[in-house]
């Protein structure tokens, strides 16, 4: 292990601890990631005694580095050459039933290791010179890393009831690292699921977003579902579950469909918010589901309901209320447009409208819409994918010709007001809109001169002069 502790901070920590007669270890996620050959910038240090004192001694040795001290938690942190080092004294912890805040007492290294969440996160490496690089692994963490196993060092009910966020962490690690959760550990998540309610939604979402960013997010979401956590944290998703049959016609299970779409999008994009759009694209379906004789199952307007629900969900889950949310809303609202387009004959004007509405998000929208084709009917999928190719080609052609992606109508409202001496009001919007529509329909080209000529034509037809006189 010695030669893998490459960062210069380790040698400094080792010397500082030895000079001051302190026991020192690197512990937790850094050791796990080292054994998994993943790089990590967060180093957790445990000492026998005071973590704050050790941090201060290290900072002094480094020429007076700045230390952030958190006396309430007995921890301290410093930054050095691209890493963040957090110091804490080895401790025993016990928790009260109604809170995540522990009662802390000084303890041995093993006390400290056993109060950690999983055996793979309880590994420590000694940094003192005599034992430098020695792995201290009382709970078989190294073996569990090889077996790709998430298991708690203590009886899992204790570990989870101590800190219920760990239930989300277990699932997040399983999804992120493609590990499996030990059956008893998993059962304890199911048994303790209600305790997730004492954890702040921000922390839960932090883990959820790590699940969303994992290679196959459906793994984590399915585990949340199987344990019962999903219904508590995100009931809108579990509402998508189930299949109904009327007159022998069944609709697809929208939960499973959503997970497939999400995993497919994840193959093509690491963008968190595009993945969120995949997760929420059909969220409006349960509320709009109707069986109509002769038509079968319908979900009219589910994209618009989905757009509204997205805002509600983002608010409740304390996700950003900014352009990220608006981006997800936009994709949810437009997600069927490319497919509808590919079903019809693809006209230039329909493509131009799609480009106008999607703007710079057109490529993401196409990724989502293409992933949305999950029919079991292979012939149907082939046909759609072929038509999608045509839509993509047309998008390119129209974009090159008309550049409508970031289109702004060339005539502004003020110009209409001053040219016709009109009061501001709906009529101005009507004229502006008519010009925009004409450009999008390909009746006139996207230039100022043509748009101005067109403005005079339509205002004449609208009798604007006469209205002018009346005013
Ligand atoms: N830990 C814990 N219980 C928690 C959070 C953390 O026992 N609820 C312990 C684990 O030993 C963990 C270490 O604290 O390895 C550091 O936690 P953190 O930095 O949050 O996570 P990492 O395990 O380092 O993983 P990542 O960096 O992927 O978040």
| Per-residue model confidence as pLDDT tens digits over 326-382 | 999 999 999 999 988 777 677 888 888 888 899 899 999 999 999 999 878 888 888
pLDDT value of position 243 = 87
Question: Does the residue 219 lie in any domain?
Answer: yes
Give the mean pLDDT of 295-309. 93
The C-alpha atoms of residue 394 and residue 185 are separated, in whole angstroms, by: 53
The confidence band for 103, taking pLDDT boundaries of 50, 70 and 90, is low
Question: Does the residue 378 lie in any domain?
Answer: no
Q: Which domain holds residue 170?
A: 148-233
Residue 339 sits at the vertex; the CA angle it makes with 334 and 341, to the nearest 5 degrees, is: 90
Structural domains counted in the chain: 3
CA 175 – ligand 1 centroid, Å: 16
Tell me, yes or no, whether 204 and 101 share the same domain.
Answer: no
Tell me, yes or no, whether 120 and 216 share the same domain.
Answer: no
Tell me, yes or no, whether 56 and 132 share the same domain.
Answer: yes
CATH number of the structural domain spanning residue 109? 3.30.460.10
Q: Kindly report the protein residue whose alpha carbon is nearest to atom 14 of ligand 1.
A: 28
Please tell me if the CB atom of residue 162 comes closer than 6 angstroms to any atom of ligand 1: no
Question: Does the residue 332 lie in any domain?
Answer: no
Q: Kindly report the protein residue whose alpha carbon is nearest to atom 22 of ligand 1.
A: 29
Residue 470 has pLDDT above 50, yes or no: no
Helix (H) or strand (E) segment spanning residue 70: strand 68-70
Residue 18 sits at the vertex; the CA angle it makes with 15 and 20, to the nearest 5 degrees, is: 110
pLDDT value of position 169 = 98
Tell me, yes or no, whether 66 and 173 share the same domain.
Answer: no
Tell me, yes or no, whether 167 and 210 share the same domain.
Answer: yes
b/e map of 156-172 (b: 16 or more CB within 10 Å)?
bbebbbbbbbbbbbbbb
Please tell me if the CB atom of residue 117 comes closer than 6 angstroms to any atom of ligand 1: yes
pLDDT value of position 468 = 45
Candidates 26, 27, 28: which one to mutate for ligand 1, based on the most atoms within 8 Å of Cβ? Answer: 28
Tell me, yes or no, whether 83 and 191 share the same domain.
Answer: no
Tell me, yes or no, whether 11 and 108 share the same domain.
Answer: yes
CA 21 – ligand 1 centroid, Å: 27
Please tell me if the CB atom of residue 163 comes closer than 6 angstroms to any atom of ligand 1: yes
Candidates 116, 156, 158, 214: which one to mutate for ligand 1, based on the most atoms within 8 Å of Cβ? Answer: 116
Residue 101 has pLDDT above 70, yes or no: no
CA 375 – ligand 1 centroid, Å: 41
The C-alpha atoms of residue 85 and residue 57 are separated, in whole angstroms, by: 13
CA 273 – ligand 1 centroid, Å: 25
Question: Does the residue 206 lie in any domain?
Answer: yes
Choosing from 200, 233, 266, the residue where a domain stops is: 233
Residue 18 has pLDDT above 50, yes or no: yes
Give the mean pLDDT of 76-87. 97
The C-alpha atoms of residue 195 and residue 165 are separated, in whole angstroms, by: 9
Q: Is the pTM of this model over 0.75?
A: yes
- Name all contacts of 430-434 with Cβ < 8 Å and 24+ positions apart: 430/462, 431/455, 431/458, 431/459, 431/462, 431/464, 434/458
Tell me, yes or no, whether 138 and 163 share the same domain.
Answer: no
pLDDT value of position 1 = 65
Tell me, yes or no, whether 75 and 159 share the same domain.
Answer: no
Tell me, yes or no, whether 42 and 130 share the same domain.
Answer: yes
Residues 6+ apart with CB under 8 A from 10: 26, 127
Tell me, yes or no, whether 134 and 12 share the same domain.
Answer: yes
| Per-residue model confidence as pLDDT tens digits over 420-434 | 888 888 889 899 889
CATH number of the structural domain spanning residue 160? 1.10.110.30
Tell me, yes or no, whether 98 and 184 share the same domain.
Answer: no
The C-alpha atoms of residue 442 and residue 428 are separated, in whole angstroms, by: 22
428, 422 Cβ separation under 8 angstroms: yes
Give the mean pLDDT of 101-123. 88
Question: Does the residue 86 lie in any domain?
Answer: yes
Residue 402 sits at the vertex; the CA angle it makes with 396 and 406, to the nearest 5 degrees, is: 85
């Amino acid at each position: 292990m010695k030669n893998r502790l490459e960062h210069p901070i380790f040698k400094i920590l080792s010397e500082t601890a030895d000079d001051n007669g302190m026991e020192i270890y690197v512990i937790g996620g850094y050791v796990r990631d080292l054994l998994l050959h993943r790089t990590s910038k967060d180093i957790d240090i445990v000492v026998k005694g005071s973590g704050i004192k050790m941090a201060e001694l290290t900072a002094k040795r480094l020429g007076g580095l700045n230390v952030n001290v958190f006396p309430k938690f007995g921890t301290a942190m410093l930054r050095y050459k691209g890493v963040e080092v957090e110091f804490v004294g080895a401790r025993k912890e016990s928790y009260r039933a109604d809170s995540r805040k522990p009662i802390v007492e000084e303890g041995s290294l093993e006390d400290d290791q056993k109060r950690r969440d999983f055996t793979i996160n309880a590994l420590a490496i000694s940094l003192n010179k005599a034992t430098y690089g020695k792995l201290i692994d009382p709970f078989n963490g190294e073996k569990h890393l090889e077996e790709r196993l998430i298991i708690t060092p203590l009886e899992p009910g204790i570990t989870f009831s101590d800190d219920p966020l760990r239930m989300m962490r277990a699932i997040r690690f399983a999804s992120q690292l493609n590990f499996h959760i030990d059956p008893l550990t998993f059962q304890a998540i199911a048994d303790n699921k209600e305790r997730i309610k004492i954890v702040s939604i921000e922390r839960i979402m932090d883990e959820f977003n790590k699940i969303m960013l994992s290679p196959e997010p459906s793994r984590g979401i399915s585990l949340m579902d199987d344990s019962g956590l999903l219904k508590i944290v995100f009931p809108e998703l579990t509402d998508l579950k189930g299949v109904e049959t009327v007159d022998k016609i069944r609709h697809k299970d929208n939960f499973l469909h959503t997970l497939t779409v999400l995993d497919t999008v994840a193959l093509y994009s690491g963008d968190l918010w595009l993945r969120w759009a995949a997760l929420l694209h059909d969220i409006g379906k349960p509320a709009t589901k109707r069986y109509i004789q002769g038509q079968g199952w319908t979900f009219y307007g589910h994209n618009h309901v989905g757009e509204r629900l997205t805002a509600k969900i983002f608010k409740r889950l304390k996700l950003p209320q900014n352009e990220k949310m608006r981006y997800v809303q936009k994709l949810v609202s437009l997600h069927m447009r490319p497919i509808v387009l590919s079903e019809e004959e693809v006209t230039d004007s329909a493509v131009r409208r799609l480009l106008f509405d999607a703007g710079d998000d057109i490529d993401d929208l196409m990724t989502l819409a293409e992933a949305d084709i999950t029919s079991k009917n292979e012939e149907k999928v082939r046909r759609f994918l072929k038509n999608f190719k045509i839509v993509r080609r047309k998008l390119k052609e129209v974009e090159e010709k008309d550049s409508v992606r970031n289109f702004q109508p060339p005539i502004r409202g003020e110009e209409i007001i001053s040219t016709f001496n009109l009061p501001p009001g709906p009529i101005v919007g009507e004229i502006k809109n008519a010009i925009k529509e004409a450009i999008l329909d390909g009746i006139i080209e996207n230039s100022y001169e043509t748009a101005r000529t067109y403005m005079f034509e339509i205002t004449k037809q609208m009798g604007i002069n006469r209205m002018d006189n009346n005013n």
